[in-house]
Every structure is written in C-alpha cells, then in structure tokens.
Structure 1
Amino acid sequence: MPPKHQIYVDRAEFVRSLFNDSTTANILLRVDNFHIYAHTSILYCVSGFFKKIFKLFARKIKEDGNNFLFHDYSCNREIAINKLYEYKGQEKVELLYDIIDFQNFIAFLYGYPVETRDQDQLFVLAYLGSSHKFDVPELVNFCDNVLYEVWNKQQWHVILRVSKWLGLKKLRCQVLRYVYNQGELMFQRHAKKDLDEKDWQIMFVLTSGKDPLLNIDNILNGTYNEEFTEDNISKNINNNADINNADINNEDINNDMNDSNDDDMMLIDDENYNDYDQSMEIAIADYEKLYKPPTNDKRNKHVHWGPETFLITDNI
C-alpha cells in the first residue's frame, strides 16, 4: 500500500486529468463562443456560486443527466470595465475577462497552479474568484498573497478601492499601511476622503503599533469594538510617520493621483516588473499533455447536447 501522501498526489493528478475531458463531463461551460467540458461534482465542491446553482437545479441534473449541460458565463460587456481605475463603486459592474481568463480560472478549480505574477491577470482572477462572481475564497486568498508583495504603490488610491471591492484583505491593509507611512501630507490631502469606517478602524490599529491583519476579520464583520476618533488617528499619523518613507513632495503626490490613461495596460507598466513571470501558462510541464484547449463553436451560437438547452446568464 503506498504512503498517504502518494495517494493524495495520485488523486490530485486524477482530478487535473479531468479538466476539459469530454468523455466524463456532465456540463458544458461557454464564454465567448468557446466551450469547456466540466463536472458538476468538482465545481460544486470548490465554488460557492456553482454550489448554489447546482442545488437549485439538483433535480433537473439528476433527471436529465447530460441533457442539463449548457451554461453561458460570458462577460457582460455592457457593464464591464477594462481599466481598474474605472471602478468607482458601481453596484453592477464586471471586470472584463475573456476565454483565456475563464479557462485559467476553471483550471485552478481542477488543481492546476496559477503561475502568473502579472498584476492585471491576478486582479481578473481575483474578480472571478470573488463573492461578486464565482465565490472561490481559495483563489482570492492566493491572488491576495501575491498582490500583497508586488502591488504598484503609484496607484495606491485605485488599488485601495479595488481591494475592498474584491475582498483582498492583505492588500487592503498593505495599502493603508503605505498611506500611514507617508505622513500627514498625503493623508490629509488625498487619502482621508477615500476612507470608509472600516478603513478608519484599520488605520487606528496601525497608529496603535499593531498589525491590522490580526484583527482584519473582526474589523470587516463589525465585531471590532475599540473606540477611536478620526482626529486622534490624524494626530498619531502626524506624530508617528515613518521619516524614511515620507520623503515625497507635493508634485510627487499630485502625479501619483493622476489616473492612468495607458490603453495598453489595465494598471501597471511592464517595464517596472521585469523580475516577475508575465506568462499566463497555468499547466506545469508534467501536466501539459492533460491541458486541453476549449472547443470553438464558430457556426452555432448555442451547443445542443440532448433535447434541451439551459442558459444560465443571470445571478440567482
């Protein structure tokens, strides 16, 4: 009998081998007229969204089997943004994604690693994994851990908004720590107006010399009960600012506040991040033979696999 860790590896490899496997799939996912074969049992286990969908249609799936196969998850381009700075807190908004992004997202659900360190792609994956879309906390946490290390400080005001939207807790705390370390000038002129109540609580923890990540869950769920005032926080920032990190002038701050108009990138300049892998390859070499391209349906708008087709395009 092989050791337990070997059994686990074999199972992981088996699950990866099922990715986009037409011979075992019982559901078909479509994005932009490309189709990916998938398995309801796997999606159910790792995605809160799919768990809700499959519970809702459990009887239909059981009765019809492969006849219940077709879900369209193409990005709603009417409400989509393709630049992060375009997010202003809209209630209904999508972060633009395509079949490559969706394919990498589904592959992650099957156990393939995400090897990209490109910020734009990580933000898209974080959106797909967020509670606003497919609800995969494991993917959000992965993106959070990477973005926490490589985020672009010149776009701190944009990233603060987006980190709150997507639930990137570590990144949010890191941005606020950066603002705190810049001192009173940046805080009063630019950052103060962008803070909500939970941001103020995080800033309070920072001014107390503590790590806000230790209290972040309590802060976000409303159970953090230490009292504070905005005036006291502002005063502490002025008194305790990190001098080594506060050597910015008015021109630097104003330049940082200008939204990017670069149409080639969503957020960052690649020249500043040459040390990171910019590829979107998700399948490591040992599993390249298992990684299958999606099917492109050029002639038919809908794929019929059985007598009925179900279109799931709205949140339920």
Structure 2
Amino acid sequence: MFLGQAERKLQQGMDKALLIGEGIYPTFFYYEAREFEVQEDDCGGKLVNIHSFERKDTPYFLEGPTRAMKVVGDIVNGQELYRQIRQSGLYDRKLGMYKVNESLAGQPFELGRSTAFTPGWLENESIFMHMEFKYLLECLRAGLYTEFFSDIKKAFPPFMDPEVYGRSTLENSSFIASIANPDASLHGTGYIARLSGSTAEFIHMWLWMMTGGQPFGYDHRGLSLRLKPKLPGWLFTATGELSFCFLGSCQVTYFNTDRKDTYAPECRVTQYVLHYVSGEKKTICQAVLDQKEAQDVRDRLISRIEVYLGT
C-alpha cells in the first residue's frame, strides 16, 4: 500500500517536472520571495515574514536528464528524451558533443561558481567530459544503441582529430572548450588530464559494450555466464573479429563474419569454445554457459574463449 502510494507520488513529480522542462527533466530550481513583509523584533532587528514564493527555472543542465535516463521504461521515454536533448542548447552542434549546461547568461551569481567562468570553459557550458560520459553511458544502458554509437564517433577521444583535441587521443580531459567559448580557436580543445570520473565511466561503457553489462547470473540452477555484446558491425575487423580481456586474464574473441550489429535481435551467440589453462578444449553449442563452465571462468581456469555470433 505505502510503496504503491510512494510510486504514484514520485511519478506525479516526474510528470510535473517534464511539463515544467517542456520535454526535458530540469535539474535545478530556485525560489524568490514574492509576497512578504518586514517586521521589527523585540531587539530592534529585522524579521522578514514571507507569505509566498515564486519558482524560478534555471537553464537546462545535463545532469537532470542523465539521472532520468536511469529509469527509462514505464517512467521515462528514453528515445523522446534523447531527441529533445539533441534539439536543446545542451547539444553542441559544431562538435557533436553534449555541454554540461545551457547558457547561464542573465542568471544570478547565487547559482554558484559556474556563473563566474567564461562560457564554454570549465563548469560553464563546456563539454565537461565526466558528465557527458555519464549521459552516454545511460543512453547505452537504455538501449539507444544506434544513437550511442553515432555519438561516440565525435565524443570519444580516439575518434577526435589530435590537432584539434590538443593532446593524446588515448587520454580523456577534464573538459573540452565548446562552441560557446568566444575564442573559436579553442573549440574542441581538451584541458586538464582526467584519470578519475571520466575514465571510470569509459570503462563502464566498455564493459557494457563487450559483455552486455551483466555477464554473470545466478538462479536455482546455480551460476551462469551469458555474453551479450552490444557492438556495431563497424568495430569488427575486416574478417569479423574483435577481442578483449575479460576478468583480467581471459582473452575473449568474438567471431562475427557478417559484421552484423550484435545488438540486433537476430544476432546472438551460437557457440563458445573454451581453452583451459591445462590445455583442455571444450565446445559449448548454446548461448549460456552453465554452472560448471561459468565457475571455471570465474576461477581463472580458462585462458581464452572464442565466441561465435550468428542468426
């Protein structure tokens, strides 16, 4: 009873927020006193008796809709939210990236330090890579695969022009100067090496792409392992191969001879070939590894796995 009422209350709040944000969930509000009276207290000081407040809506920040993407489904329409964000000031059309916030021009300094920075720099309307990667991760987890793999061609450093990025494309930045910056020569340049948040989000995305996000499962039959890669066909070699290191020591190679998008419904795992450290080789013609083999993988008894994808 209580949980049902709480869920309805939260849903009403989400619906109201979406109306206020005109299609995008807002991140922040602030309130100003609208009706008030100033009184003196017994010590001669001033007291303000506020009768009503007026809500002030701030420009969009990327954090709000990113949080909303975590509950895509019955509560949030991820496809529509993505479309609205692409049409908003959060999307940098020149760079093909996502800004941490829209323009803060005209906003009060009480909003915090963001208003003190030049637009397109640091925490004000730049491409704050950690926040952008959080958003892209939620797009991936929400099943927006076509959109995600289109976006990373612009948002991931390995796909960037190093002359524009201004640093090694093998490392992330803290932020990238966006089109909002008044100095056009800085647009797309990354600043301050980042080895924490953005890197953690990148690894999280990588794990979802390579394994499907939740490779191990457990039910009444015991432990199981199901690899469900979320990869576009263009990431595979010309011969349809792609390899990654699983659990720190096991090399997994996907064989996708037709170079299909592995997130397509018709593409699935048809066979595993397990190469044990002992030299034993075992072929499993099913999409899921059962208790024995799954535990062998967990126990580092398998050094290499060949995974065949087909229809």
Regarding TM over 0.5, the answer is no
The structure that has the greater radius of gyration is: 2
Relative to its length, the structure with more helix (as a share) is: 1
For normalisation by structure 1, the TM-score amounts to 0.27
Relative to its length, the structure with more strand (as a share) is: 2
For normalisation by structure 2, the TM-score amounts to 0.28
Does 1 or 2 have the higher relative contact order (CA < 8 Å, sep 6+)?
Answer: 1
